[in-house]
Amino acid sequence: MLIPGMEEQLNKIPGFCENEKGVVPCNILVGYKAVYRLCFGLAMFYLLLSLLMIKVKSSSDPRAAVHNGFWFFKFAAAIAIIIGAFFIPEGTFTTGITTKIWFVTVFSNYSLHNVFDMVGYDQ
């Protein structure tokens, strides 16, 4: 727990943090693992959108309408994927050094891509 008292507040909500079948334990909903799960869900959503946009050349392409519109469905899909990420078994996000190396590699490559993209933006 990174936030003191957060688990106590979540336990006060009836039927939310009980360890019954089908209910998510509160320790999964807060802390650094929750951040990993949220970021994983958003990364998968944007990966899905980027795969959908491959070979789109102009805004007259029907897939370009998905990129420029359909906001309700995109928000709903992003939220559904994020919620789904919280139901991935615990061992997947905490397997040790391999997962940490993967997260650092992806973040570093993304950051370098952004830096080089900004440098070439004026040209």
Q: Supply the DSSP symbol for 25.
A: -
Which residues fall within 8 angstroms of residue 85, CB to CB, at 6 or more apart? Answer: 37, 38, 40, 41, 44
The domains of the chain are located at 6-92, 93-123
Q: What is the pTM of this model?
A: 0.60
* Res 2: pLDDT: 54
Could you list the mean pLDDT of each consecutive 10-residue stretch along the chain, which spans 123 residues?
65 63 60 78 87 82 81 90 81 66 82 76 56
Residue holding tokens 């070439």? 120
CA distances to 19, 28, 37 from 46, rounded to whole Å, are 32, 23, 14
Reduce the DSSP state of residue 80 to 3 states and report it. Answer: helix
